[in-house]
Amino acid sequence: MAVNLLLVTHGRIGAEILDSARATFGGELPMLCNSVPISHDCEPDTVIAEIQRLVDALADNTELLILTDLYGATPCNITHHYAHHAKINIIAGVNLPMVIRLLNYSHASTDELINKAISGGREGILVV
């Protein structure tokens, strides 16, 4: 079953990660991806409605990985509402290496994608 991605982050972090991934992949991504920016002065009801709209579109007849930037922060807390949804998984700590790894394994199972995301995110952090 295909898996789609939704990045819910502070500001444009998610959009910029997806733009960088598109540049890496030459424009087209092998997974359906979208992002929701959350600003410090956002209207919670508006953001929740936008996330719900995208969840409805991205999780229709497929599974969805929601990636957030910081565990315990507003983007993660807002998405926690979907934690018990059968077709949705949430991972906190998104970074570009995590997203690139997910896109490289886009045809893997959801469980494998979750493991690849976490390992890709961790392995992308290095002392140089």
Q: pLDDT-based confidence at 44, cuts 50/70/90?
A: confident
Nearest CA-CA partner of 4 in 29, 36, 23, 31: 31
Tokens 């991934």 label which residue?
A: 21
Question: Which domains does the chain show, CATH number per domain?
Answer: 3-123 (3.40.50.510)
**pTM of the full structure:** 0.95
Which residues on neighbouring strands pair with residue 6, listed in sequence order?
34, 66
- Average of pLDDT values for 103-126? 97
Nearest CA-CA partner of 9 in 65, 112, 79, 61: 79
Nearest CA-CA partner of 93 in 124, 47, 63, 64: 124
Q: Residue 100: count other Cβ atoms within 10 Å of its Cβ.
A: 18
pLDDT of amino acid 16: 99
Residues 10/69, Cβ–Cβ less than 8 Å: yes
- In the predicted structure, residue 96 carries a pLDDT above the cut 80: yes
- Inter-axis angle of helices 96-104 and 110-123, nearest 10: 140
